[in-house]
Amino acid sequence: MKKVAVILGSESDLPVVEKAFGVLEEFGIPYAVHIFSAHRTPAEARDFALHAAPEFGVIICAAGMAAHLAGAIAANTVLPVIGIPINSGALGGMDALLSTVQMPSGVPVATVAVDGAKNAAYLAAEILAVGEEDLYWKLMLSRGKTSAEILEKDRKLAAKYNK
């Protein structure tokens, strides 16, 4: 299976991004983690994007504030890029959200919610599952488990309150 690359704009993004690692591990997806910055290490970020294929199948980029990392990576690869806008500044993540999501036509970044690290990992898994039947069924089972858990909570709440 191809690996997922997880790139942080700064080490300060790690506490949020770590939540993605657990999801990738749950589904047995190999991954590698790096810190590259669109502004502080632009040459290294570009070089990584240029050489990410064929080892990697999806690239997750997390950045806050003027969050250009996902766009800068997407500019240099046609691998799918998922952006996680990080809430790390005075504007509560709205700055990073708009910087990440508003890409020009032809260079997409699939942007998840502010601090949405888990969904970035789930989306990466779904992209890889297109060519990995085992992974596809692991994701299906996980969805079924989540539904069953919610239905059980509904049953308990209904038994307690709905007289």
Q: Which residues bind to ligand RP5, rule: CB under 6 A?
A: 9-10, 12-13, 37, 63-65, 86, 88
Strand partners, 34: 7
Is the Cβ of residue 8 or residue 29 nearer to ligand RP5 in the bound state?
A: 8
CB of 109 to ligand RP5, least distance (A): 14
Query: How many Å apart are CA 53 and CA 122, to the nearest integer?
Result: 20
CB of 12 to ligand RP5, least distance (A): 3
CB of 115 to ligand RP5, least distance (A): 11
Longest dimension (CA), the chain: 65
Is the Cβ of residue 77 or residue 99 nearer to ligand RP5 in the bound state?
A: 99
> With the CA atoms of 50, 79, 87 and 19 taken in that order, what torsion angle do they form, in degrees rounded to the nearest 10?
-110
> With the CA atoms of 129, 135, 137 and 139 taken in that order, what torsion angle do they form, in degrees rounded to the nearest 10?
-80
Query: How many Å apart are CA 47 and CA 57, to the nearest integer?
Result: 16
Is the Cβ of residue 14 or residue 157 nearer to ligand RP5 in the bound state?
A: 14
CB of 78 to ligand RP5, least distance (A): 24
Is the Cβ of residue 66 or residue 139 nearer to ligand RP5 in the bound state?
A: 66
